[in-house]
Structure 1
Amino acid sequence: MDAMSFEEIFIDPLRYEFMVRALATTVTAAVVCAVLSCWLVLIGWSLMGDAVSHAVLPGVVLAYIVGLPFAVGAIVFGFLAVGLIGVVRATSRIKEDAAIGIVFTTLFAFGLVLVSVTPSQTDLNHIVFGNLLGVSRSELVQIVVLAALTLTALVLKRRDFTLYAFDPVHAHAIGLNTRWLGIALLGLLALTSVVALQAVGVVLVVAMLIIPGATAYLLTDRFQRMLVIAPAVSVTAAVTGLYLSYHLDTASGAMVVVVQGLTFTAVYLFAPRQGVIGRRIAAVRRRRATASAV
């Protein structure tokens, strides 16, 4: 690759201000989503992440209507969704997965109705499908602030959250308030959803909240390494997806998620210890080593 082609591929897109803002947005969202996804994967909250990320839509639209920050509406409806799921599960024969499906689809549909009837100077459909290339300066500032708050909370409470994820019974036994830890994680999940939805939209937020942690989980058995691997993989996929969307003229948020999905697929197949093909290769090598030793 000569210098000119390198410049055309990597430098030329950054001559546009909207691409610089898009790059900053996607990297910020990728980092905060990836870090939180490590705990979501360990706790088994993939469905809950899906529920909260979709349920925040009506809250975001209502916040827009009354002139409040998106984060306020997202947090309110995030906790509302969790509360409704708990009520349905506790007061009926409906199991948790069904309760999650009922609540999040109903709230998401309510959000779509609000989007369709709310007059606005901006296209609220971008909240649903993402508008990575249309992020404004003020929106970027909000994204960075929310991401910084979320990351700070995750870093400061990482030991408590980790113990809660691995052994909530032990966490409770040593004096940690596991109920409040769960509530805190749900609040951070709602904030993170706001960060990501402005990049990839509500529909694809769950992918950014689950895929990085799942990918890292297949690459290491140590949680501290997961907290490094997941953001690294997520940022690499996000930047790659953004550049591909620019050169191929495709939807930016969707391309970011596609690259993350392809990355997971490669790890799922070829990871040295946990990959499907990787395990078979390792088993063949062990058999050969055993046969040669005999």
Structure 2
Amino acid sequence: MYDFIIYLIEPFYLPFIQRALLLGITIGIVCAVLSCYLVLKGWALIGDALSHSLLPGVLLSHMFGLSIFIGALCAAILSTTLMGVIKRKTKLKEDTIVGIVFSVMFAMGLFLFSVIDTELHITHLLFGNILGIDRNSLLTHLIILVCILAIICLKARDLMLFCFDEKQLTMQGMSIKFHHYLLLFLLSVVLVVSIQAIGVLFVIGLLIIPGMFGYSMTKQFHFMMMYASFFSALTIFIGILVSFYLDVASAPLIIVIQTLFLLLTFALTSRITKNKQI
């Protein structure tokens, strides 16, 4: 019994697990808050496109000896600009534009990876490596994430109006275009910060699933964010620890756990609704 207890608490004494838990939970909370806006605004596909569009920026920045953060952020800004230009210049629908930009940028990233001699591991870019975060990266990521969360809190009411009622936002003398690009910028920065820990393929899950969970629990927006944040932090905590014990990649396991929790929630809420109707 004593050996089993030691086995359970062993990860909490390991520095890389401590860093992973701190960064993972922080990313989870920020992504959860942002996901509530994305789910209500219907921007899930835009978030998916931006996450995949970071790959060429990461590779080019590494090739020229620049920070991966700078390259990924430039790629995200380029992608959002392209989507805006194509939307203004053509009559294509938004989902079509997003699909075009997503496909081109992701294909460009894979092409660059095949022709550039780089020390970067494609698996780390696609799946993340949260257990490999060092102290310097941890501090940088935490500062940026806290700043993003502070901006969201300061603009919470305006962003909520942008998602719910753009006319009301205009009547109060505020620009729809400004808040459109503000939300895209916040999304881009969160994606860039999260790519090293969660990876290109799975970060979008953290930006969609918690918001869906919160929305399934309540229709009051502030409670929705609370439910989403708690759900995200809890599942990331469980996912990191289980991935350590099973010796598997953390990011895919976190998304699987979140999905299972979400499906269980849907099943329970639908059963409760049926019982009330009876």
TM-score normalized by the length of structure 1? 0.88
2:223 match: 225
* Inter-partner Cα distance in structure 2 for 1:50 and 1:163: 23
Q: How far, CA to CA, are the matches of 1:171 and 1:74 in structure 2? A: 31
User: How far 1:16 moved relative to its partner?
Assistant: 2.2
Q: Secondary structure at the match of 1:94?
A: coil
Q: 1:34-183 alignment to 2 at 5 Å?
A: 34-183=32-181
Deviations 1:83-135 (A, max 9, x none): 22233334344322121111112101211222333334443541222112212
Contact 2:127 2:249 survives alignment (8 Å): no
Q: Post-superposition shift, 1:20?
A: 1.6
Of 239-248 and 87-96, more deviation after overlay is shown by 87-96
Residue identity matched to 2:35: S
* Aligned residue identity for 1:208: L
2:257 corresponds to? 259
Query: Does the aligned pair in 2 maintain the 1:59–1:77 contact within 8 Å?
Result: yes
Using the TM superposition, give the Cα deviation of residue 7 of structure 1 relative to its aligned residue in structure 2, in angstroms: 3.8
In 2, are the aligned partners of 1:56 and 1:190 still within 8 Å (CA)? no
Query: CA offsets per residue over residues 141-192 of structure 1, 9 Å max, x none?
Result: 2221221121111111111111111101110111011111111111110111
Assess, with a 3 A threshold, how the Cα gap between structure 1 residues 64 and 124 changes in structure 2: closer, same or farther. Answer: farther
3-state DSSP of counterpart to 1:192: helix
Amino acid across the alignment from 1:188: L
CA contact (8 A) 2:202 2:255 kept: yes
Alpha-carbon RMSD: 1.8
CA distance in 1, matches of 2:248, 2:181: 38
Higher gyration radius (CA):
1
Contact 1:115 1:125 in 2 (8 A): no
Q: Which one is further off, 115-124 or 70-79? A: 115-124
State the match for 1:277 in structure 2. 271
The 3-state SS of whatever aligns with 1:68 is: coil
Range with greater deviation from structure 2 (188-197 or 16-25): 16-25
Deviations 1:4-43, CA, capped at 9 Å, x for gaps: 534422x101232222222122112111111110111111
Change (3 A) 1:247 1:183: same
* 1:137 counterpart letter in structure 2: R
The equivalent residue for 2:204 is 206
Give 1:246's aligned residue. Answer: 244
Instruction: State how far apart, in whole Å, the 1-side matches of 2:110 and 2:23 are.
Output: 24
Identity across the alignment (%): 36
**Could you tell me whether the CA contact under 8 Å between 1:89 and 1:99 is conserved in 2?**
yes
Q: Does the Cα contact within 8 Å between 2:50 and 2:102 map onto a contact in 1?
A: yes
Deviation at 1:194, TM superposition (A): 1.6
8 Å CA contact retained: 1:78, 1:186 = no
SS in 1 for 2:173: coil
Q: Partner letter of residue 7 of structure 2?
A: E
Higher relative contact order (CA 8 A, sep 6+): 2
Report the AA paired with residue 8 of structure 1.
Y
Residue identity in the other structure for 1:27: I
Q: Which runs of 5+ in 2 are unaligned?
A: none
Q: Match of 1:292?
A: none
Amino acid in structure 1 at the alignment position of 2:277: A
Question: Contact 2:50/2:188 (CA < 8 Å) preserved in 1?
Answer: yes
In the comparison of the two structures, how many residue pairs are matched?
278
Give the drift of 1:57. Answer: 1.8
Q: C-alpha distance in 2, partners of 1:71/1:158?
A: 26
Letter in 2 for 1:279: T
Instruction: Output the amino acid matched with 2:130.
Output: L
Alpha-carbon distance in structure 1 between the residues aligned to 2:207 and 2:76: 15
